[in-house]
């Protein structure tokens, strides 16, 4: 005999599924699997965002900013910046991404995607320092400043601890810190990208005036690393360089560069000898026949014909005079006048020997 049918009232209540308002708008498509929306992801008006005054990065390459702005114009901002909210001032302060914020302004955007983070002040500075130190596109001067600030932020720990914290070698750390000892003008060249940190290493240990002069040769005249090292060694070997003013020192380095380079342009022959002779005599460089200039100079000075014995006597006399220069106590003006002519004499000797060998 079948069981009597239950009335609706006698049936157990069905378990009801609860829905929230958010569930009504939830993405249930396959692309949403494993994806969670962030409540901290925003699009914030640019005029509500400002840079952090304590940001370690101090310089921004204008050309690279313009390139980034052009990219943003084409593709938009591909990576959100990170900001924190300052409730007292009702402003969003940049934690990471100031370059993108600046470039977005240049591109004419009115808002930018951002992630809002609640980072304690002591951790915020540490994160900024860490990000800027490990980024190779940050110039060496600003990276050195960031390393020093990071050291203080970590409780003035050893440099070894700092190097370990940012994941760079100890030797690399001290290379970066070496830029702090350079003159202001040289550091500005590094910030502007005109001089690399690697190029600046040759300046270490020189007097400030010598550092500035040699840096100018590297930046303005494309002085190579090997040439710069040779000039730096010559500067260290001659204490007179330390007392020279930068303009005079720069002129002397330029003259020395021509000697140490041994440029092929100084071809053997009368023209090379004539050019060197003109510098020794402090005359204008000859523009015509080099041999004719030499004959004319010999006639004007009534110089005797070459003779082995006479040359030996003249060389000995010159050598004895030069040997006494160290104790001669010449005035600064006399030294400045004499130095380029002596260097030109060295050039003349080399040119004459080269011409003789070429016969």
Catalytic residues: 98
Q: And the tokens for 323?
A: 């040997």
End-to-end distance of the chain based on CA atoms, in angstroms? Answer: 136
Structure tokens at 40: 């901290």
Q: What is the 3-state secondary structure (H, E, C) of 153-186?
A: HCCCCCHHHHHHHHCCCHHHHHHHHHHHHCCHHH
310 CB-near residues (< 8 Å, 6+ apart): 304
- Distance of alpha carbon 210 from alpha carbon 244, whole angstroms: 8
Residue closest to 152 by CA, chosen among 127, 171, 126, 172: 126
**What is the residue whose two structure tokens read 């030499």?**
294
- Give me 252's structure tokens: 């002397």
Helix H or strand E encompassing 84: strand 81-86
113 Cβ contact list (under 8 Å, min separation 6): 41, 42, 43, 77, 80, 81
Q: Are 75 and 113 in contact (CB under 8 A)?
A: no
Q: Give the angle subtended at the CA of 297 by the CAs of 291 and 299, to the nearest 5°.
A: 105
Q: How far apart are CA 40 and CA 82, in angstroms?
A: 10
């Amino acid at each position: 005999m079948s069981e009597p049918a239950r009335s609706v009232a006698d049936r157990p209540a069905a378990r009801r599924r609860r829905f929230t308002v958010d569930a009504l708008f939830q993405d249930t498509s396959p692309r949403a699997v494993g994806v969670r929306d962030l409540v901290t992801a925003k699009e914030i008006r640019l005029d509500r965002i400002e840079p952090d005054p304590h940001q370690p990065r101090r310089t921004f390459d204008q050309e690279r900013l313009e390139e980034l702005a052009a990219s943003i114009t084409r593709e938009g901002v591909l990576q959100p910046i990170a900001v924190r909210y300052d409730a007292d001032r009702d402003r969003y302060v940049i934690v990471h991404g100031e370059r993108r914020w600046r470039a977005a302004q240049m591109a004419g955007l009115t808002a930018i995607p951002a992630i809002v983070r609640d980072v304690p002040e002591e951790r915020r500075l540490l994160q900024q320092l860490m990000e800027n130190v490990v980024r190779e596109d940050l110039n060496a001067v600003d990276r050195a400043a960031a390393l020093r600030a990071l050291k203080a932020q970590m409780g003035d720990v050893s440099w070894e601890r700092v190097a370990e914290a940012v994941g760079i070698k100890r030797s690399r750390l001290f290379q970066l810190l070496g830029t702090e000892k350079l003159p202001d003008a040289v550091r500005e060249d590094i910030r502007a990208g005109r001089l690399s940190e690697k190029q600046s290493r040759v300046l270490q240990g020189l007097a400030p005036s010598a550092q500035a002069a040699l840096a100018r040769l590297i930046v303005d005249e494309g002085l190579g690393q090997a040439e710069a090292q040779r000039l730096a060694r010559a500067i260290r070997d001659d204490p007179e360089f330390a007392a020279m003013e930068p303009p005079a020192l720069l002129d002397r380095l330029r003259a020395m560069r021509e000697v140490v380079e041994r440029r092929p342009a100084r071809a053997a022959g009368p023209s090379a000898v004539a050019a060197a002779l003109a510098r020794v005599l402090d005359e204008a460089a000859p523009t015509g026949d080099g041999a004719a200039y030499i004959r004319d100079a010999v006639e004007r000075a009534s110089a005797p014909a070459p003779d082995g014995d006479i040359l030996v006597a003249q060389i000995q006399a010159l050598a004895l005079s030069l040997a006494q220069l160290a104790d001669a106590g010449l005035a600064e003006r006399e030294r400045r006048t004499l130095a380029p002519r002596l260097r030109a004499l060295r050039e003349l000797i080399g040119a004459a020997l080269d011409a003789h060998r070429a016969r």
